Amino acid sequence: MSGSGASAGLGLISAASWGGSDFAGGLGARRAPALLVAISGHSVSFFILLSVCLGIGLALPRPNYLLCAAIGGLVGALSLALFYRALAMGGMGLTAALAGLLTALSPVLYSVVTDGLPAPLSAVGLALGCIAVWLITRRPVAKCGATKQAVTPPAALWMGACAGVGFGSQLIFFKMAGGGNLLWIMAIARVAGASALAMVLLLMPPKTPWRGFWRTGTLAGMLDTIGNLFYIRASQLGRLDAAAVICSLYPAGTILLASLILREHPTRRQWAGMALALVAVALLSH
């Protein structure tokens, strides 16, 4: 299998893992504060990774790799907190779609600057992939009356945009950290992310009861960690832009799980986005 084909395959596994993580985290957030779900997942996955690294005697990567991993974990965690805040302000569909699109676009622009323009077929695949991300994450807003639609607050759009750039930046930093041992890289990213979320938790403690979040938080954190590991490996084997766009299709996994388990069926727009995603992956795997 070619490097781009292997990268695309690993990217799909990463997207599936991230989609499962978001589904588990979403279920947990229905019963407990979302920040507690996120911080529990980061904390448990960190201790598991640390135990494995120390248990098998893995050598620490070079400081520059550890620094990139820490920055990526910190930026990703703060972006997550900002994204949750943006969604809570209303107009979730447009905010989520904007964040998802910028998550994919940021690594694409970075890769074009550092690696040059992709091949024509790959460029078409990248464009279709970004459109697919928008279609999959874009949900119709609730209607007020017959014609008037709910308006997304400008502050929510700005926060969603900043969160999307932050998520994309995390992917870039993880790519830069990919020269080190992957387990140590993720352990450092996790402890940085957990520290950032703990700081947010102290500044803005949830008012709802603090219970019932460890189980779903742990599952979400482990799936997210697996997705991160496969993403880093995918970015090592192929171009960053292709790996990032394929991995950014993860909302499709969340939607499919919600359809199978919760009977929350996708919209026609989302089905079209998933079909377009398959075409994009096929083009990016060549």
Q: Could you read off the pLDDT of 264-277 as tens digits, one per residue?
A: 888 888 899 999 99
Q: Which residues of the chain have pLDDT under 70?
A: 1-3, 88, 90-93, 139-152
Identify whether 144 is part of a domain.
Answer: no
Closest CA to 274 of 246, 249, 244: 249
| Overall number of domains in the chain | 1
Enumerate the H helices of the chain as residue ranges: 3-29, 34-55, 63-88, 92-115, 120-137, 154-176, 182-203, 214-237, 240-247, 251-261, 268-284
Identify whether 200 is part of a domain.
Answer: yes
Mapping DSSP to helix (H, G, I), strand (E, B) and coil, where does residue 186 land? helix
Identify whether 180 is part of a domain.
Answer: yes
Identify whether 145 is part of a domain.
Answer: no
Domain of residue 198 covers 3-139+151-206+213-284
Identify whether 146 is part of a domain.
Answer: no
How far apart are alpha carbons 249 and 244 in whole angstroms?
Answer: 9
pLDDT of residue 75: 95
Q: Could you read off the pLDDT of 103-155 as tens digits, one per residue?
A: 889 999 999 899 888 888 889 999 999 999 988 887 665 554 444 445 668 88
CA trace torsion 278, 161, 69, 284 (10° rounding): 20
